[in-house]
Amino acid sequence: MKIVIATNAGFCMGVRRAVEMAIDASKKYQGPIYTFGPLIHNPQVLKSLEDKGITVLDEIPEQGNGTVIIRAHGIPPGARKKLEHAGFNILNATCPRVIRVQSIIDRHSLHNFSSIIIGDKDHPEVVGLMGYTRNNGYVINSIEQLKTLPVFEKAIIVAQTTQNAQFVNEIKNFSSNRLSHYTFFDTICDSTEKRQGKVRQLAKSVDAIVVVGGLNSGNTRRLVQIAIQAGKPAYHVETEADLDLNALSTAQVVGITAGASTPTWIISKVHQTLLKRFPDQPKKAE
């Protein structure tokens, strides 16, 4: 079996920044340290942060103390105000790519633009973005949903930064033809686009693809979907313990990629497990 590892697998810039901020905070600040909601979507990383004394705050108390780190996905501005009012020291680990989308929505909603967000309505990034719409935001995940919305006098269209780039492009083409007075902003993270493109490229030369990442990670699940759409079996695993070695045994070439919140040490363990079980002709990608 040959094993090909996608070169862009693992932490993206925003995730790496958030994790580094959390680790630095554990060394710098006295008192309890929290993240408001899970910092990123990877349980193994969250466990390592917990071991450093960084725990998850799910509800905002009336009074609190210590430091709260805003998750990489961002939060609604109202939630931040509540955290400040409760007395917490705030560290903002929101991904800069997400902050850009927040800013686009914020400045346009000030001028009564409706904001249409392409995304998963329950995803924390989208929940945070909706907080900037001033109650004039709409979440869609299909062209059909866009068609059902009223035609607004003024509107912008943005995307959750980790959405499927091909799908977002379909929305862009539709809106340019049918809703040409709407302003479309390209807000897919470049790291997401490259990662998704690499999976499509990988699918052309492998028999199966292993996608490593948190089971609740939206961007990881999208990589699985893209691999399947490309016609290849795809296996979503959080760790090496989840590998279906029997299913993979018939593959001559296996590709490995990972979501944006998957650390390299987990990817390495998956790789090593496959090498031990299928030691013939291992190969690592350029």
Q: What is the pLDDT of residues 118-146, one digit of tens each?
A: 999 999 999 999 999 999 999 999 999 99
- Stretch(es) of the chain classified as CATH 3.40.50.11270: 13-93
Task: Please state, in angstroms and rounded to a whole number, the distance separating the CA atoms of residues 40 and 72.
Answer: 6
Task: Please state, in angstroms and rounded to a whole number, the distance separating the CA atoms of residues 44 and 239.
Answer: 9
pLDDT digits (tens, 9 = 90+) for 167-210: 999 999 999 999 999 999 999 999 999 999 999 999 999 999 99
Average pLDDT over residues 30-44: 95
Q: What is the pLDDT of residue 282?
A: 41
Average pLDDT over residues 55-67: 95
**Degrees, nearest 5: CA angle 238-240-246:** 110
Q: How many residues does the chain have?
A: 286
pLDDT digits (tens, 9 = 90+) for 218-231: 999 999 999 999 99
Q: What is the pLDDT of residue 31?
A: 86
281: left (phi over 0), alpha (psi -120 to 50) or beta: left
* Tokens matching residue 54: 């960084």
Q: What is the pLDDT of residue 67?
A: 97
Q: 10 Å Cβ neighbour count for 17?
A: 16
Q: What is the pLDDT of residue 283?
A: 47
Q: What is the pLDDT of residue 10?
A: 84
- Stretch(es) of the chain classified as CATH 3.40.1010.20: 2-11+190-277, 97-184
pTM of this structure = 0.91
Question: What is the band of 7 on the pLDDT scale with cuts at 50, 70, 90?
Answer: confident
Task: Please state, in angstroms and rounded to a whole number, the distance separating the CA atoms of residues 12 and 260.
Answer: 5
CB neighbour list of residue 199: distance below 8 Å, 6 or more residues apart: 6, 209, 211, 223, 226, 227, 230, 255, 257
The CATH code that applies to domain 97-184 is 3.40.1010.20
Is residue 134 within 8 Å of 109, Cβ to Cβ? yes
3-class secondary structure for the chain?
A: CEEEECCCCCCCHHHHHHHHHHHHHHHHCCCCEEEECCCCCCHHHHHHHHHCCEEEECCCCCCCCCEEEECCCCCCHHHHHHHHHHCCEEEECCCHHHHHHHHHHHHHHCCCCEEEEECCCCCHHHHHHHCCCCCCEEEECCHHHHHHCCCCCCEEEEECCCCCHHHHHHHHHHHHHHCCCCEECCCCCHHHHHHHHHHHHHHCCCCEEEEECCCCCHHHHHHHHHHHHCCCCEEEECCHHHCCHHHHCCCCEEEEEECCCCCHHHHHHHHHHHHHHCCCCCCCCC
Average pLDDT over residues 98-114: 98
Q: Which residues are catalytic?
A: 125
The CATH code that applies to domain 2-11+190-277 is 3.40.1010.20
- Determine the residue type at 253: V
Topology given in CATH for the domain delimited by 13-93: Rossmann fold (3.40.50)
Q: What is the pLDDT of residue 239?
A: 97
* Tokens matching residue 89: 């020291």
Task: Please state, in angstroms and rounded to a whole number, the distance separating the CA atoms of residues 267 and 239.
Answer: 8
pLDDT digits (tens, 9 = 90+) for 149-167: 999 999 999 999 999 999 9
pLDDT digits (tens, 9 = 90+) for 238-286: 999 999 999 999 999 999 999 999 999 999 999 999 999 998 654 444 4
- pLDDT > 70: what percent of the chain? 98
Residue from 178, 170, 99, 163 nearest 132 by CA: 99
Q: What is the pLDDT of residue 280?
A: 64
